Structure 1
């Protein structure tokens, strides 16, 4: 059974296993659907079932996903689910060796590239959503002056707030209240920068 906790990825092998473009997309698709077969995921990512199955097994080898209970009568179908409520990656776990630093940075860039692609698709399809969804969608930039401690506190508070909304949404969905619910992407970054002279 999947853990309700977020898994902290802190070893290089698991980071490398996750840091593949298709595996990242598969993990995201599986996280959103909660349970799926390789053929269902292959349809979502537009790849061959055999390739998707291979990459799902690699994710499972590192404990990022796990087999789920059968959801259909077809015993040939193998169902998968995320093994935790999400993943987290922390700089302090990957700063002690050059290879770890480089891999952590590469995975971060890849993740960011996929976030950009997801947001571009939203912008391209923006007008196809209802006025209420168009009005609810947002993109914001804030430029406060903070200390490292204040930024860390802000991150914790935002994380707790988003978790509350996510838990409430899941509870409604599990109770059968699915009317008007859609998948929502929230991409939040907080980082220091300096103006160039």
Structure 2
């Protein structure tokens, strides 16, 4: 994974290149697990190496991944992610082109699926972690009454707060990688 936090803002072209369930899973795997080969990723994701190889090449063509030759031996082709995150421009959700709108829908559904899987994994395995992590994890929800402007402000302030937390001090024995999911959306209440 790249050492500094970098965000790739999706445009219509790059969105169409990423909005495929396997491509999104490959990109997440490279971001979280670091450089890997198509065969390693195939084993991890339960896919064929032919499928992972094809979709890695598509991700490379759209600038999401690149070769990591320093990891390879002989003919092995290693890949690495080029950014730590992607951001969907909300205008793509309402784009005039139905193909773009469809790609945005696939992208958003896959993000929700990944978040759900990560949370399910934590819940299922939380007892395997040190007791201190039980009190340091969170599954909260809040219901607020906001205008779109206030909602945007809240999202911006949450993101700023999260970005303000740098990595734990080098060598901290209890440091772990953590995932933070945020979701803010309007809902009709009864």
Match of 2:175 among 156, 163, 181: 181
Find the counterpart in structure 2 of residue 169 from structure 1.
Answer: 167
Corresponding position: 1:92 with 2:91? yes
Corresponding position: 1:58 with 2:58? yes
Question: Using the alignment, how far apart are the partners of 1:43 and 1:60 within structure 2?
Answer: 20
Aligned pairs (5 A) from 1:11-22: 11=12, 13-22=13-22
TM-score (normalizing by structure 1): 0.83
> What is the SS of the residue equivalent to 2:87?
strand
Maintained 8 Å contact 2:66/2:80: yes
Q: Which runs of 5+ in 2 are unaligned?
A: none
Corresponding position: 1:193 with 2:187? yes
> What is the SS of the residue equivalent to 1:66?
strand
Deviation, 1:10, is: 1.2
> What is the SS of the residue equivalent to 1:180?
coil
**Structure 1's 140 and 84: CA in aligned 2 closer, same or farther, altered over 3 A?**
same
Find the counterpart in structure 2 of residue 83 from structure 1.
Answer: 82
**Structure 1's 15 and 178: CA in aligned 2 closer, same or farther, altered over 3 A?**
farther
Question: Using the alignment, how far apart are the partners of 2:42 and 2:117 within structure 1?
Answer: 18
Aligned pairs (5 A) from 1:134-173: 134-165=134-165, 168-169=166-167, 172=170
Q: Which runs of 5+ in 1 are unaligned?
A: none
Maintained 8 Å contact 1:66/1:80: yes
Alignment: residue pair count: 188
Question: Using the alignment, how far apart are the partners of 2:95 and 2:19 within structure 1?
Answer: 19
TM-score (normalizing by structure 2): 0.86
> What is the SS of the residue equivalent to 2:70?
coil
Find the counterpart in structure 2 of residue 9 from structure 1.
Answer: 10
Find the counterpart in structure 1 of residue 104 from structure 2.
Answer: 104
CA RMSD of aligned residues (A): 2.4
Deviation, 1:76, is: 1.9
